[in-house]
Amino acid sequence: MQELIATGCFHSGLPAGRAALQAIRSAKAAGALVVDAGDFFSGSAFYAFSHGRVEERLLSELYDAVVPGNHDLAPLMGLNDPVSFPPVVCVNLRPPADFPGRWVGGLVLPGQGLRVGIVGSIARQAFEAIPVHERAGFTFCEPTAALVEAEADRLRAAGADIVIGVSHTGFLDSVADQEVGWPLHVVVTAHCHSPWSHWSVSGRHVAKPPAGGSGLLRLHLTPAGPARVTQEACRSGAQAADGLDADLAGFEAWGAEPLGRLSEPLPDRRSVAHLVAREACAGLGADAFMLNTFTFRGGLPQTVTRRDLLACAPFDSELVFLDGSHRLEDLTERARALGEDVVASRVSQSNPAAIATTGYLAERLGLHSRPSRPPRTLHGTLTDLVREPS
């Protein structure tokens, strides 16, 4: 039997994820193999502090293989020590020629109990969620059953006792693949955060690791499949030496810097989105501004620190004007059909001539746009709001 530990959508989840990393360290010392299903980087205040430096070090120290997520490509292209970094595994995505590390479609990990084959993949939706400039030079193809099966056959021929999939696809999409006879009976998946964690029918499994560093996924593998699949929550406790004390102390000091004070607390992300939409609309001189509420992770306290702001809005985006003529109602309906929760601010009830939004939402809608002049960003707008409350 071979234990395999998986994380997914870790999103630079420190300091909260410290206990999970310690559990991984202990399991690895006992012979476990460790993989990540994508989005280890980005998505938190800690990433804004570390710029991926600490995250790269942790992956190099603890992980045997990494599958790319839609927030990972820029950090992967900028690796500081690519020789020490684990292999990036993805059968349907190829990096530019100047990628500094190791990139393979699949690989065999020699464990103490079994040789475990890993076939990595990323879904089209995840790939297309990556900003255009970050995915420039990458070559994507559909992760078809035939492509995955051919790679799995290659790994079996290379000596794998069992082959599993590790995908940045999303739980429900991975279940749908299994229901029509996916060639790999065991898939670890991340992306598209959902409340479900484990699906199993007739020896087939789809399992999702806990997100945000809140825990890890344990699979006890045999040649016939997993004998046990467990989601383990990891809570803070006494910490063994892990080399993170100085980094976390630096983060605490950096994040505690006060940025300003709002006129009142904002209780949730929708209230933040409405206020930012009004500020952006006025600041840009636009007739209307539309914004995805999922840009924000929560509300803001009345007194806002740097850490509060980045925990609320971990991902920045440039602000852009849409080219051409559009009805605001048509755009919001189109965004909602894509699963986006959109709010809008407008100067008047007449059809707006100049509509602005985030670069992310413009790309999501497939619309041509142009940067605002002078350039403005989501983080800059939110910072202005905090420093000069309306």
Looking at the fold, whether 240 and 296 belong to one and the same domain comes out as no
Fill in the amino acid letter for 274: H
pLDDT the model gives residue 286 = 95
Residue 251 forms part of a structural domain:
no
Looking at the fold, whether 69 and 213 belong to one and the same domain comes out as yes
Looking at the fold, whether 264 and 225 belong to one and the same domain comes out as no
Looking at the fold, whether 239 and 314 belong to one and the same domain comes out as no
- Chunked in runs of 10, what are the mean pLDDT values of the chain (390 residues)? 97 96 96 98 95 98 98 97 98 97 98 96 94 94 98 98 97 95 96 88 96 96 95 80 94 96 95 96 94 94 96 94 94 92 88 89 93 94 80
Residue 290 forms part of a structural domain:
yes
Range of the structural domain that residue 52 is part of: 2-246
Spatial distance between the Cα atoms of 256 and 308, rounded to a whole number of angstroms: 9
What 3 state SS string does 115-131 have?
Answer: EEEEEEEECHHHHHCCC
Residue 63 forms part of a structural domain:
yes
Looking at the fold, whether 214 and 344 belong to one and the same domain comes out as no
Q: Which residues of 153-178 are buried (b: 16+ CB within 10 A; e: fewer)?
A: ebbeeeebbbbbbbbbbbbebbbebb
Which residues are 358's β-sheet partners? Answer: 319
pLDDT the model gives residue 237 = 66
Q: List the CATH number of the domain containing 329.
A: 3.90.780.10
Q: List the CATH number of the domain containing 66.
A: 3.60.21.10
Looking at the fold, whether 305 and 163 belong to one and the same domain comes out as no
Which residues are 104's β-sheet partners? Answer: 89
Residue 143 forms part of a structural domain:
yes
| Alpha helix segments (H runs only) across 15-144 | 18-29, 45-50, 53-62, 73-77, 124-128, 132-135
Alpha carbon distances (Å) from 365 to 126, 237, 292, 389: 15, 45, 12, 31
pLDDT the model gives residue 238 = 59
pLDDT the model gives residue 388 = 66
Domain stop point among 246, 278, 313: 246
Looking at the fold, whether 18 and 162 belong to one and the same domain comes out as yes
Query: How many domains, the chain?
Result: 2
Looking at the fold, whether 199 and 281 belong to one and the same domain comes out as no
Residue 230 forms part of a structural domain:
yes
Q: pLDDT for 234-283, tens place per residue?
A: 987 656 789 999 999 999 999 999 999 999 999 999 999 999 999 999 99
Q: What is the pTM of this model?
A: 0.91
Residue 252 forms part of a structural domain:
no
Q: How far does CA 97 lie from the centroid of its chain?
A: 24
Domain stop point among 246, 277, 311: 246
Domain stop point among 246, 271, 289: 246
| Alpha helix segments (H runs only) across 158-236 | 171-179
Token digits of residue 147:
């492509």
Looking at the fold, whether 168 and 287 belong to one and the same domain comes out as no
Looking at the fold, whether 280 and 358 belong to one and the same domain comes out as yes
Looking at the fold, whether 168 and 227 belong to one and the same domain comes out as yes
Residue 374 forms part of a structural domain:
yes
Residue 328 forms part of a structural domain:
yes
Looking at the fold, whether 272 and 139 belong to one and the same domain comes out as no
Spatial distance between the Cα atoms of 266 and 334, rounded to a whole number of angstroms: 28
- Radius of gyration (C-alpha) of the chain in whole angstroms: 22
3-state secondary structure of 170: coil
